[in-house]
Amino acid sequence: MAIPILGWHGLNAQHETLEKYREMAAAGFTYNLSGWPDVAAALRALDLAGQAGLKQFVHVKGLMDSPGQVVGAIKHHPALGGYNLTDEPAADQFEKLGQLVRQIQSLDDQHPCYINLFPTYAAPGSQLGAPTYQDYLDLFLQHVPVEFVSFDHYPIMEKSLRKDFFLNLELVAATCRRAGNPFWAFALCTAHKPYPVPTLGHLRLQQYSNLAYGAQGLQYFTYLTPTPGTWDFHDGPIETDGRKTAVYDLVRQFNQELRNVLWVFEGAAVESVGHTGTKIPLGTQPYTPAEPIRRVELGGEGAVVALLANQDRRHLMIVNRDFANPGELVVEWNPQAPIRQVDNAGRVCELPGASLARALEPGQACILSWV
């Protein structure tokens, strides 16, 4: 499938109009994920999503305990994207979840089951239910036959970046590569303490880093602002009363930028990921240039540098690791190599000479390409 752009805690029965689904599609989303009280409500939502060109990951009451009736009623709907089972399960739930997934797959082998996993900063005992995060991932894939692995990690806290953000990407990417599973990852777009209202730099750093490590699904937490309670949710793309916010416009702007370049990443194989800078992040490796690239330097915090192979082309993706400040990028390469640049509109542009010097905005990516 094409790389999906999914709105988590998306439109629900409270905002069930064709206008609201079209508004979601206009913001660049291709999938809505939500829950519905019964099959009839789910079918109405699927109809509306389909008219707007969206697909739905659906959770319906009764799906977990007796999936036969629910799956039988919705599995042929053209707007069905899959079955939303649960969020952040502990390891002691994996065996039962595996049985449920197999049961659903026996009823419908055309649509995936969606289960979202904890991040590395979850507590090993009380949350993960496993001694280490690696154990948690291994146990999940041992017991649950999913088509892709989804996990959340919200790294930007006020003015700092969680130290284990890239470690989380390293662990999930390596585990999924060994298992032959793609993975889906998140950007946070709804503020709640200690997470700020996002900026364009926040969104870019999260999603471009996800793509650099090979993510084949991009998600946002959340599309619809949840009702404040345990968490003081505010300033999501859509307010609880259905109004669009400034964050909606920001996400729409960035999703258009993303969709222009997703062809670079869809089905791509990550050959290497490294980091530049005086202090590389926890759990990562320094970037070492390889022909035809001879030098990559970025001022400030440094960069994430990924080499990807997609069909007959190689792509070098350089992401500014600073979500608040621009950096000056310098790249040099073998003069005999016809290096080109993929711009923000997705066009492949020729580059004169054997070097590139440009500013990279906060979280921004520079994509070079060659055969």
Tens of pLDDT, residues 12-31: 999 989 999 999 999 999 99
- Which homologous superfamily is 269-370 in? Golgi alpha-mannosidase II (2.60.40.1180)
pLDDT in tens, 47-86: 999 999 999 999 999 999 999 999 999 999 999 999 999 9
> Confidence class of residue 324 from pLDDT cuts 50, 70 and 90?
very high
The pLDDT of residue 341 is 98
Question: What's the pLDDT at 115?
Answer: 98
Sheet holding 313-320, edge to edge: 269-275, 303-310, 313-320, 365-370, 340-342, 348-350
pLDDT for position 340 = 98
From CA 228, how far away is CA 88, in angstroms rounded?
20
pTM over 0.95: yes
The structural domains of the chain, with segments of one domain joined by +, span 5-264, 269-370
Amino acid 200: pLDDT = 98
pLDDT band at 112 (very low <50, low <70, confident <90, very high): very high
Q: In which band, very low, low, confident or very high, does the pLDDT at 275 lie, cut at 50, 70 and 90?
A: very high
Cα end-to-end distance, the chain, whole Å: 24
Query: pLDDT tens digits, residue range 115-167?
Result: 999 999 999 999 999 999 999 999 999 999 999 999 999 999 988 999 999 99
Tell me the pLDDT tens digit for each residue of 157-171: 988 999 999 999 999
Average pLDDT, the chain: 97
pLDDT greater than 80 at residue 288: yes
Predicted local distance difference test score (pLDDT) of residue 1 = 59
Q: Is the pLDDT of residue 191 over 80?
A: yes
> Mind listing the pLDDT tens digit for each residue in 32-58?
999 999 999 999 999 999 999 999 999
What number is the average pLDDT over the span 353-361? 97
CATH number of 5-264: 3.20.20.80
How much is the pLDDT for 371? 94
